[in-house]
Structure 1
Amino acid sequence: MAFRYVRQKSARDLIKRSNGVLSLWLMGLLATLCLLCTLSVAIGTRDVAWGDVFAALSGQVDNIGQAAVAVRIPRTVLALVAGAALGLSGAIMQGVTRNPLADPGILGVNMGASLAVVIGVAWFNIDSANAFIWTAILGAGSAAVFVYTIGSLGRGGATPLKLALAGAATSVAFSSLVIAVVLPRNDIAGGIRSWQIGGVGGATFERIWHVLPFLAVGFLISMLSARKLNSLALGDELAAGLGERVATARAFSALGAILLCGATTAVCGPIGFLGLVVPHLCRLLVGVDHRWLLPFSALGGAGLLLAADIVGRIISRPAELDVGIVTALIGAPFFIWVVRRQRVREL
């Protein structure tokens, strides 16, 4: 009896120490995020004095420098919420499919949202912000269902390799359809082409307010699915044995990811690889417990997208490199590394 008490006490102490370390990592990540926000409003194609930065943050727009900072503030906010949404949706998709290669871009979800928006603009002349968002969410959801259905055919069900191949093929097919829809429409081709690169430039608080309710619902659903994802990680049979409704848990978790991905694509365009890179890096820090992994992935995604946007402003001065290009340059080598390291096995 005494031995059992000592063992239970040691286990509790270990959990407390582990939670203490994770809390320190969380505070460090928040501090890094604050630093990146400061750099984001201070760095751009125009050099701005720190006095003008602080003045613009307090609401003054008396000169060109302060006006430049005022434009960067909503851009920084959009990068934060979009990065958090993409990082979180990537972690959800990897948990739902138990696939280390799962990502809104690789699984074709981003391109499904893009195709839906392009069809809506070209054929139905949608122009309101809410119409864009609902159309993108519908396209993202349809693409997710289509890829999962294709990947589930044949022996073994939805294996990581089959899902990755189905997603890649779907993404290429949808990309070709986007070109086919846009090609005869010179009046919208320029805007669609620019939007399809993916970026946070030109952000306004009005655009952010339109998308914020959808992202808030997506964040709430995703965070509530943490325990369900922990159960799914044990395998379908064991999760069902523990009383989890596997199909319902998967659908509920996927709904959060689809809302986040679709709404973000509507306002920023398709930004790839962020949902692949961030969950893997966070998993190295916090392990596989989704109660910690999901909030870390959200904060990590916000930080990485913000850092990518800052880098894009610096490396091509006086022009800017869209954040979608920067994340692709980061994500493509990481994708190759994950394939070689994981050998496409299940999580």
Structure 2
Amino acid sequence: MNNQKLNQPFAEEVIAFTQSLSKRFVRMRYMPEVVALGYWLRKSNIKQMQAEFEKATKGKVVRGRGTAFHIAPSNVDTIFVYSWMLSLLAGNRNIIRISSKTEINELLQVILEELPNYKSLAEQIIICTYGHDESATEMLSLTCHTRVIWGGDETVKAIRKIPLAPLANELAFPDRFSLAILNSEKVMLLDDEALDALLEQFYNDVFWFDQMACSSPRLIVWIGEKIESFWTAFERKIQKKQHELLAATQVLKYSTSLQLAAENYVEKVVPITNFSRIKLNDVPRDVREKHCGGGLFYEYEVENLIDLEQIIIDKDQTIAYFGFEKPELKELVESISTRGIDRIVPIGQALNFDGVWDGQSFLTSFTREVIIL
């Protein structure tokens, strides 16, 4: 495969392939995360990315890095497609290792059905799966020019022990933790219709991946006092959505709540059927590791937005917000002394993907500039 000639960035055949996938994905209404991927792949968005890329690289000679090796996660089915598509658009050949835990689901089936229609592109792509075989990962790592790791901290640590080719670069996306911040005063001013719209967006951020996506809010920070009516209305929203609550998830939330109830930083535990709330008087670093997903919410209150910087650690990735203006949010970012926070987005956009993730620009990392004097 490494003998296959690289495409130019944003080659027409690659764009055509993305459009074939987009048209099929947006029709899969029963899988909202796939629909979101389909809209992200729509031609207008791809062309906008192309225009921005060409503007940033005007007058430069830019090529793909070569072969990209993507190690997909097992918990979020669509995430590997985003990095793969951006690598394709950058002009690279691609190897995608699917977790052995992942079955050939409908998303993969669509990809496998469409790919043979693009023969020259298909010759530049390998989609494979295998068990925990370090020799296979090492062979692919020594062959590739960019390695992309999606997975938990332990997965990243284990794969980083496997050598890369000397000229290769690496992008790693380990465990992250995310939160939502709400302006209590602004929430209180919402009428029923506006509150329902906010709750719809909040529901999508939380439950599309059962709160297991790295950008799904798990800690809810109230700037001001918490609003009980918010949670009452959210309970009604979940019931209306007829969210499927697995027995195993319910048991895990209950046992996690009991475990946390013994901690001195926990003020109150409110377990109900569809979600559980854990009121905190502090947010210690390790509380993030105890979160189990599935509708478990830590709650914390601060008087002012700027006070939030005291609890932000390196692991924190996304802040989904309601009721704040950009200058306030910029001031917060400038006050944070840790590595934490790479994204601040309105509630409802926590799961949206763009070309920059965890502070890294994919198109920059997937390409190289050739200097001609």
Pairwise TM-score range, normalised by the shorter structure? under 0.3
Q: As a proportion of its length, which structure holds more helix? A: 1
Specify which structure has the bigger relative contact order, considering alpha-carbon pairs within 8 angstroms and separated by 6 or more residues: 1
Q: What is the TM-score of this pair, normalised by structure 1?
A: 0.26
Q: TM-score, normalised by structure 2?
A: 0.25
Which has more strand, going by share of residues? 2
